[in-house]
Amino acid sequence: MPGPVIIARALTKSYGEFRAVDGIDFEVATGESFGLLGPNGAGKSTTMRMLSAVSTRTSGELSILGLDPDQHGPEIRARLGVVPQSDNLDGELRVRDNLIVYGRYFGIPRRRVAEKADELLAFAQLEDKRDARVESLSGGMKRRLTIARGLVNEPEILLLDEPTTGLDPQARHLLWDRLFRLKEQGTTLVLTTHYMDEAEQLCDRLIVVDKGAIMAEGSPASLIRDHSSREVLEVRFGSDRNALVAERIADVGDRVEVLPDRVLVYAGDGEAALREVIGRGLDPITSLVRRSSLEDVFLRLTGRSLVE
């Protein structure tokens, strides 16, 4: 079993009085796909900048590839791939030139970086856009180009901050497919997301973060098992009646959660719970039984939704 490539202990980053990251501990193993799940403002991007060896920590310990980023920033960055939240591509350069210029920053010789750029354009399915201006690309294409750029140095760890935010479903699935291939090739992936489906798709293990602190840690399946029921019954009674009805069905499942537009009943058997609700003479406008998701875990842990 190879050792961890990232070790964080009591990792903290403050901006003045504000603690964006408040003493978090985690490890990432070689080849693992590790996620940070949390709402906007949870401290995910700040953590990612520290992991990218560009942002110095306020306190705590951090080791990346066995090195301290405060002492060995460039050495670490030479072996990382970074996909930031915003596509900071050079809009004045053409698509292929963006890859070439970036590869040169790693000291890759010109001839080799040109070959690598063509290879990455194929990987990112952007071959027919090689001479296009970056401005003319769609959001999904820019994202794929940014990911391709992050791979130009064949990194050992790829850090992705909100890789699919703002993309349409088709573009997201294409990206997930590309990331999955990297994972199969043994690249360690660290990603942040506020999409539970993305975390479930891509992460072997994740931490749920909120307000700069870790709320829970585990595989998606174990988090759901530990913090939620197997199934969830969603019932709607109209926004003025939801809270009232919730009191009458509080004992149907393990737990009931009232959201503005619906009531969630957490139960091992959702269909049985629905029969029980109807048996009590209540008539929901709509009802839905589904599997528990990380969204439910987050709701349970923080009392808030991930996407608000």
Instruction: Name which of 89 and 216 has its Cβ closer to other proteins.
Output: 89
56 in contact with other proteins (CB under 8 A)? yes
Report the alpha-carbon distance of residue 104 to residue 2 in Å, rounded: 31
- With tokens 């027919």, the residue in question is 128
Here the tokens at position 99 are: 């890859």
54 binds other proteins (CB under 8 A): yes
x/- string (CB under 8 A) for other proteins, residues 83-122?
-x-x-xxxxxx---x--xxx-xxxx---------------
Residues binding other proteins: what is the number (CB under 8 A)? 35
Report how far residue 115's alpha carbon sits from residue 172's, in angstroms, rounded to the nearest whole number: 27
Q: 68 pairs with which residues across the strands? A: none
Whichever of 77 and 143 has its CB closer to other proteins, that residue is: 77
Does the footprint of other proteins cover residue 180 (CB under 8 A)?
no
| Segment contacting other proteins by CB under 8 A, of 32-40, 46-54, 196-204, 219-227 | 46-54
- Among 11, 28, 36, 80, the residue binding other proteins under the rule CB under 8 A is 80
State yes or no: residue 67 binds other proteins (CB under 8 A): yes
By beta-carbon proximity to other proteins, the closer residue of 101 and 259 is 101
- The residue among 52 and 292 lying less far from other proteins, judged by its C-beta, is 52
Among 14, 30, 79, 125, binds other proteins (CB under 8 A): 79
Non-local (6+) Cβ contacts of 300 within 8 A are 227, 228, 255, 257
Rounded Cα gap, residues 130 and 157, in angstroms = 26
Tell the smallest beta-carbon distance from residue 176 to other proteins (Å). Answer: 23
Closest approach of other proteins to the CB of residue 92, in Å? 5
- Sequence-separated (6 or more) residues with CB below 8 Å from residue 198: 163, 164, 172, 176, 191
DSSP codes, 109-173: -HHHHHHHHHHHHHHTT-GGGTTSBGGGS-HHHHHHHHHHHHTTT--SEEEEESTTTT--HHHHH
One residue of 31, 39, 60, 72 binding other proteins per CB under 8 A = 72
Taking CB under 8 A as the criterion, the residue among 8, 51, 82, 189 binding other proteins is 82
For 89: left if phi > 0, alpha if psi spans -120 to 50, otherwise beta; the answer is beta
Binding site for other proteins (CB under 8 A): 49, 52, 54-56, 65, 67, 72-80, 82, 84, 86, 88-93, 97, 100-102, 104-107, 149, 153
